[in-house]
Amino acid sequence: MFSNQKLKILYVDDDPDDLFLVTSLLKRINDVHYEIDGATSIEEAIPKLDQSFDLFLVDYRLGKDTGLELISEIKAIKKHAPVIMLTGMNSGNIDREALNLGASDYLVKGEFDANSLDRTLRYAIRDAKLMESLASAAVKFRSIFELASDPFLLMDDEGEILEVNPAFQKKFGLSAYEPNSEKSYSFKKLLTEDASRQELDTLFANGQEIYDLEALMTIENGQTINSLISIVKQDTSIFQVLIKDLSAIKAKEEEELNLKKFSSTGRIARILAHEVKNPLTTILLSADQLTFELPEEVLAESGDLIDVIRRNCDRINHLVTQLLDSTRFSELDSKSHSINDLLDQALEHVQDRIDLKEIAIIKQYQTDICSIEVDGEKVKIALINLIVNAIEAMEDKAGKLILKTSVKGTQCRIEIKDNGEGIPKENLERLFEPFFTSKPTGSGLGLINTQNIILSHGGSIRVKSELGKGTSFTILFNLPS
């Protein structure tokens, strides 16, 4: 590391003989060239501190002053500079004082030779460079830690949170971790599902690391997010935890999937309209012709079969027309509307159902919300469909319907949330499929029509549900630019 290297030393001592002695010793070292500059007092040394020295040798006694004062000056200017204290007295107190001020080592005059002095100097320089490197790495880590846009935390090997960055605090709030609090905060409690907690227990038991664990997490206000968690060891008992919020990505994927489903449904509807309606027309015309051509005695005996053919043809024709209408983008009569007003008007249309089931309505409207450019009548139909579904999912006298509006970025956000029975996961994935319904008398086209209206406006619709806790539909409309 030091072979054939030139190392520059500032030696501060008020005794010229000691300077001569140290210089003579270091000249005996063959593989390193030591260049020594001297100073006899603190006043003479301080102006030289700005020069590039690899190491400082400081005598304890410097006239009326002590070398401890000079060490403080050196460390104030060059925090990681290697400094070695020299003295004629073997005192443990001086040793401790020098080390507390940041000295690398302590040597007693007359008790070292060329080799031990050389070794001490090399170790001091090596350790100083290591400390500077560690400090630089710590600054970089702290900068990454503090400025990271994703939640970042440190926890011990029992899952107790030790420190968090601002992004974590913003996402999870003080209930998850409060700085300077004497309370303990568990990372495990933020995991929503038992399977994720068990995986964390396995990690601690086996001393492993986890990369890209997908898990549901509870954030501020009891909401949940889809997250991607990486847990790596910082040392034997400290883990770094990086949390990536996948909610926006998942929501985007869900929107794209719903749009693909809707497009596929539209293509199917158009194919059905073409391939089914034409044969139906032929069947109906044939049934009509039979009424003219069959003898009266045959009509009297089996004429009701022709009526069955007509009724079922009409029924098929009606279903195909409904499907076609619910997947066809219609012309919009867009005007400026307050989304709060549209929600209130939709509520008025279903007030009798609300009163009948004694549903509690909780409005959480943003009062200064911007107006949006939409076809008011069509958007009201979409809102009514969602509100009616929510009402029907809730128990009489125990239902709570939350209607919330807000602006986030460039989008107007509407949330319709109930505390009903919830939707099973297998049904949740089929909600926007045509003719799919869990209602005994439903057509299965109400949500398709709702989706059509929202997509026609360039908006999006998402759904979250949990069995026994309720369902939440979120609608997003773009604000006027």
* 57, 94 contact by CB (below 8 A): no
Distance CA 273, CA 90 (A): 103
The pTM for the full model equals: 0.50
Is the pLDDT at 402 greater than 80? The verdict is: yes
| Residue pLDDT, tens place only, 6-44 | 899 999 998 888 888 888 888 888 888 889 999 988 999
CA nearest 63: which of 11, 10, 14?
14
Which residue would you say has higher pLDDT here, 309 or 436? 309
Q: What is the pLDDT of residue 157?
A: 87
| Residue pLDDT, tens place only, 180-210 | 888 899 999 999 888 888 888 888 888 788 8
Distance CA 93, CA 97 (A): 6
Which residue would you say has higher pLDDT here, 279 or 358? 358
Is the pLDDT at 441 greater than 60? The verdict is: no
How far from the centroid of its chain's Cα atoms is residue 207's Cα?
25
Which residues, in sequence order, are bridge partners of residue 460? 476
Neighbours of 166 (CB within 10 A): 14
| Type of residue at 86 | L
Residue 329's pLDDT band (cuts 50, 70, 90): low
Q: What is the pLDDT of residue 347?
A: 93
| Residue pLDDT, tens place only, 83-120 | 998 887 666 677 778 888 888 888 888 888 888 888 88
Distance CA 371, CA 412 (A): 9
Residue 455's pLDDT band (cuts 50, 70, 90): confident
Which residues, in sequence order, are bridge partners of residue 392? none
* 382, 421 contact by CB (below 8 A): no
CA angle 355-356-357, nearest 5°?
95
Q: What's the mean pLDDT in 448-461? A: 84
Distance CA 18, CA 11 (A): 10
Q: What is the pLDDT of residue 449?
A: 81
User: Rg of the Cα trace of the chain?
Assistant: 40
| Type of residue at 305 | L
Residue 386's pLDDT band (cuts 50, 70, 90): very high
Distance CA 202, CA 409 (A): 40
The crossing angle, in degrees rounded to 10, of helices 16-27 and 114-147 is 90
Q: What's the mean pLDDT in 404-427? A: 89
**Range of weakest confidence among 90-94, 279-283, 316-320:** 90-94
Q: What's the mean pLDDT in 217-234? A: 86
Percent of residues, the chain, with pLDDT higher than 90: 21
**Which residues 6+ apart lie within 8 Å of 338 measured at CB?**
369, 371
Q: What is the pLDDT of residue 303?
A: 65
Q: What is the pLDDT of residue 403?
A: 94
Q: What is the pLDDT of residue 383?
A: 93
The crossing angle, in degrees rounded to 10, of helices 92-100 and 67-77 is 20
* 44, 15 contact by CB (below 8 A): no
**Number of residues assigned to the chain:** 481
Distance CA 237, CA 259 (A): 47
Is the pLDDT at 440 greater than 60? The verdict is: no
Residue with tokens 């700005």: 50
